[in-house]
Structure 1
Amino acid sequence: MGNVIHSEVGLDTEEQASSENIKRSLVKTISWRAVGTITTVAISYIITGTMALAFSIGGIELVSKMVLYFFHERAWEKIKWGK
């Protein structure tokens, strides 16, 4: 009976319960980078006093760190330790 209940709620495999899909990783990547980039732009503006330079720094940081985070997140998904 336990298997029937787990099947009905979609928890019939351990992989489904512990795996994270690519769409979720993408949304997490974008939301985290938004927070990080706003912070970077604010700090850059405080240091440089120039909004254009602050947005240039933020733009470079946004793209580079988004790509790095995505691949970092996907690599960690393959590691079984701690799951």
Structure 2
Amino acid sequence: METRKRSLLKAVIWNAMGLAMMSLVGLIATGSMAVGGAMALINTAIGLTLYIIYERVWAGIRWGRHV
């Protein structure tokens, strides 16, 4: 079973990578670092929250596990 700490760390690392990529995409799409950065921060905040919930739900599902 995943611990909450492990789920959180995985989510933070995954979202840090996503933040970097989304910042670049936002900059390219808008031509503005401020707008691109704001888009990336909003996306990361939403993504991090949903990923943590998703991981915790799956941590409680026994289906497909070998113990």
- Normalised to the residue count of structure 2, the TM-score between the two structures is 0.92
Gaps of 5+ in 1: 1-18
The CA distance in 2 between the partners of 1:77 and 1:53, in whole Å, is: 36
Gaps of 5+ in 2: none
Q: Within the alignment, does 1:39 sit opposite 2:21 as a pair?
A: yes
State the percentage of identical aligned residues: 35
* Aligned counterpart, 1:57: 39
Q: How does 1:10-49 map to 2 (within 5 A)?
A: 19-49=1-31
The CA distance in 1 between the partners of 2:38 and 2:18, in whole Å, is: 14
Choose 1 or 2 for highest CA Rg.
Answer: 1
SS at match of 1:55: helix
Partner amino acid, structure 1, of 2:22: T
Question: RMSD in angstroms over aligned alpha carbons?
Answer: 0.7
Equivalent pairs, count: 65
Structure number with higher relative contact order (C-alpha < 8 Å, ≥ 6 residues apart): 2
- Normalised to the residue count of structure 1, the TM-score between the two structures is 0.75
Runs of 4+ in structure 1 over 6 Å off: none
